[in-house]
Structure 1
Amino acid sequence: MESGKFSLVLGSQSPRRKELLSWLNIPFKIITADLAEISSETVSEKIAMDIASQKAHAVLAQASAVLNPFIISSDTIVVLDEKLYGKPKDRDDARVILSELSDKTHKVVTGVSFLFHDKNTNKMREHLFYDLTEVTFNEITNDLMESYIATGDSLDKAGAYGIQGPSLTFISKVNGSYSNVVGFPLDKVVSELAIILGDDWKKNF
Structure 2
Amino acid sequence: MLQNHLKKYQIILASKSPRRSQLLKELGIDFSIENKNIAEIYPPGLDNHEVALYLSQLKADPFKQEIQNTNKLVITSDTIVCLGQEILGKPTDRDLAIAMLQKLSDQVHEVITGVTLTSAHKTKSFTVATKVYFKALQQDEIVSYIDQYKPFDKAGGYGIQEWIGMIGIEKIEGSYFNVMGLPVQRLYTELYHF
Tell me the TM-score normalized by structure 2.
Answer: 0.90
Q: What are the superposed Cα offsets for residues 95-144 of structure 1, whole Å, 9 maximum, x if unpaired?
A: 111111110000000000000123xxxxxx21110000000101110121
Deviation at 1:59, TM superposition (A): 3.6
How do residues 174-189 of structure 1 correspond to structure 2 at under 5 angstroms? 174-189=172-187
Residue 191 of structure 2, aligned match among 190, 193, 201: 193
The unaligned stretches of length 5 or more in structure 1 are 119-124, 197-205
**Alignment-derived partner of residue 61 in structure 2:** 57
Partner of 1:130: 127
Distance 2:15 2:181 in 1: 11
Q: How far, CA to CA, are the matches of 1:62 and 1:162 in structure 2?
A: 34
- State the partner residue of 1:12: 15
Q: Which of residues 86, 92, 103 in structure 2 aligns to 1:83?
A: 86
2:59 maps to amino acid = K
**1:152, CA displacement in angstroms?**
3.0
Question: In the alignment, does 2:110 pair up with 1:99?
Answer: no
Q: TM-score, normalised by structure 1?
A: 0.85
Unaligned 5+ runs, structure 2:
1-6
Name the stretch that deviates more: 52-61 or 6-15.
52-61
Structure 2 CA distance, aligned partners of 1:96 and 1:62? 41
Runs of 4+ in 1 over 3 A off after TM superposition: 59-64
Match of 1:46 in 2: 50
**Identity over aligned pairs, percent:** 38
Greater gyration radius: 1
Aligned CA-pair RMSD: 1.7
SS of equivalent to 2:193: helix
